Amino acid sequence: MIEMVPAISEAISLFEYDDQQLLLTITFNSGSRYEYAMVPPRIFEEFKDAGSRGRYFIAEIRNFFPYARVG
């Protein structure tokens, strides 16, 4: 199942998670879009619930999972 979540963040506008492929796609306010592979469901849930999604992204996602720019 793919879950899309609008983000209220200075840096992130939207993110979605495909729990079958363990793929987290993040759309930044700049319009850039990145896919992060092999993201466990726990990380997605914590990201979704984070008080600051930007800080969580930097601390737990960026530089920890393989990624590619897709847009």
Q: What is residue 15's predicted lDDT score, i.e. its pLDDT? A: 92
Exposed, middle or buried: residue 62 (CB in 10 Å: 0-12, 13-18, 19+)? middle
User: What pLDDT score was predicted for residue 45?
Assistant: 95
3-state secondary structure of 61: helix
* Model pLDDT for residues 3-60, shown as the tens digit of each residue: 777 777 888 999 999 999 999 999 999 999 999 999 999 999 999 999 899 999 999 9
pTM beyond cutoff 0.85: yes
Model pLDDT, residue 23: 98
Q: Is residue 70's pLDDT more than 90?
A: yes
